[in-house]
Structure 1
């Protein structure tokens, strides 16, 4: 593990386990393996605080999210959901949204500032699939499974995945997933354009960092953090704007209006150009964007 000096410590977590396995990289492990990492309502608000901290911490440039055990995330904890509904009906607790504004697990509707890579190690069902649909890059183990079984439980995937999947994999395939509740393999997900890379499955006795899917995610993260952190943030903003808005020209205009002067005034642009002229590796500084 790398030693880090942060402006302030990350917010405490009970659902997820947070570590920093490489320079500038945060690793979040969904950590309820006996419950297939099903998400609790308090856990989602914890994660919202965590990703807000990640975006504001200058020394961090990339995050990876994975799951403990044999699942990435099997969705919402339906037992907790049922109990909360009963307690609300009796007036024992106040009505509160089950998830924050940034969506399921604070990721399914997150815009954010910095990239998040998914290292999908197993089942990604329901809310887990909704998270996958909005991650920046996705690597999956060969044995991973993806699905939206909500219709089989009388509920609907309303955390942002349906319109995003329609854009990513197309309407017919998104409809097939949502209306039938079927699951697809990692190989199929890659063919559909949902994920970037498929790795071998982990051996049963593998540590988290020895898992092929996590190792591949760390390699991808390293290739990101080696680049200008300003360029990474602004490039991602342009992609997200085009993906969410749908208009390439409007996204281009907004990118220029919102970010061009900050890029030009930043230290990293000047360092990158100077390093090229001097034929040396650039020495990036933490982004001030």
Structure 2
């Protein structure tokens, strides 16, 4: 594991295992394998704080998220959800508001954020687990991974942000098929839909997380990203999100340029990159101040 010095330490996590396998990269492992990494409401808020810390920590430039055991994430802990609903029916107040974070399920399904996050989907991704993936920047999956939005089968709705995003990413007919039938799709189908960047071989059941081909592939993508200017990565990602969120491509371009052009041009990395190219040397990037 790489040695890091942070401005402040990452927030404590009871659900996710946090490590830093290489310089500038954070790895988060959803770690509740006996429950297929189903997520409690407490875990959602812990993770939201972690992603905010990640965006604020200058030395980190890319993150990867995966799951322990045979699942990526099976979504919300339905046992906890049922208990919460029962208390509501009985008029018993909760100790704190039980609404999900404003950044969505696991702090990710509606996150805009600043820096990229790569999904390394090691197995089953259902409900909220799939909604998380639908909003991440790159998606790598093991060939046995499966994806589903089964909410309609139990009388609820996938309302953590994935439905409009999926309609744009994979098209209305395929998004409709997933949401209204609730059927699972394979990694091969997801790749055919244009949902995945890559598919890898499966890992042996007893393999270490870092040894999994799906995590290794995610680390390869991360290595390519962190070689580039951290400012350029942040601003390029913002431009992609603007195009995704705005109805008009030209409006997205205008807003993006008004927001970022001067800030980029005033930064060290903007000048360092061009200077390094002219001098035929590797650029010496500094941590982003954006």
> Do the structures match in fold with TM over 0.5?
yes
Which string of whole-angstrom CA distances, capped at 9 and with x for unpartnered residues, describes residues 1-38 of structure 1? 00000000000001111000011000000000000000
In structure 2, the residue matched to 1:193 is: 194
Size of the aligned set, in residue pairs, is: 289
Is the counterpart of residue 135 in structure 1 residue 136 in structure 2? yes
**Whole-angstrom distance in 2 between the partners of 1:166 and 1:92:** 37
**What secondary structure does 1:22 align onto?**
coil
**What secondary structure does 1:287 align onto?**
coil
Is the counterpart of residue 82 in structure 1 residue 120 in structure 2? no
Report the CA distance between 1:94 and its aligned residue: 4.8
**What secondary structure does 2:21 align onto?**
strand
Query: RMSD in angstroms over aligned alpha carbons?
Result: 0.9
In structure 1, the residue matched to 2:7 is: 7
**Whole-angstrom distance in 1 between the partners of 2:98 and 2:79:** 16
**Whole-angstrom distance in 1 between the partners of 2:56 and 2:96:** 30
TM-score, scaled to structure 2: 0.98
Q: Is the 8 A contact 1:88 1:95 kept in 2?
A: no
Which string of whole-angstrom CA distances, capped at 9 and with x for unpartnered residues, describes residues 189-248 of structure 1? 011011110000001221110000000000100000000000000000000011011311
Is the counterpart of residue 145 in structure 1 residue 146 in structure 2? yes
Bigger Cα displacement from structure 2, 94-103 vs 159-168 = 94-103
> Counterparts in 2 of 1:263-274, with a 5 A limit?
263-274=264-275
**Whole-angstrom distance in 1 between the partners of 2:247 and 2:42:** 33
**Whole-angstrom distance in 1 between the partners of 2:175 and 2:86:** 33
**Whole-angstrom distance in 1 between the partners of 2:143 and 2:256:** 37
In structure 2, the residue matched to 1:278 is: 279
Report the CA distance between 1:70 and its aligned residue: 0.2
> Post-superposition, which runs of at least 4 consecutive aligned residues in structure 1 deviate over 6 A?
none
Report the CA distance between 1:87 and its aligned residue: 2.5
- Unpaired runs of at least 5, structure 2: none
**Whole-angstrom distance in 2 between the partners of 1:235 and 1:128:** 26
In structure 2, the residue matched to 1:119 is: 120
**Whole-angstrom distance in 2 between the partners of 1:288 and 1:244:** 25
TM-score, scaled to structure 1: 0.98
> Counterparts in 2 of 1:14-93, with a 5 A limit?
14-89=14-89, 90-93=91-94
Report the CA distance between 1:96 and its aligned residue: 1.8
**What secondary structure does 2:20 align onto?**
strand
**Whole-angstrom distance in 1 between the partners of 2:34 and 2:140:** 23
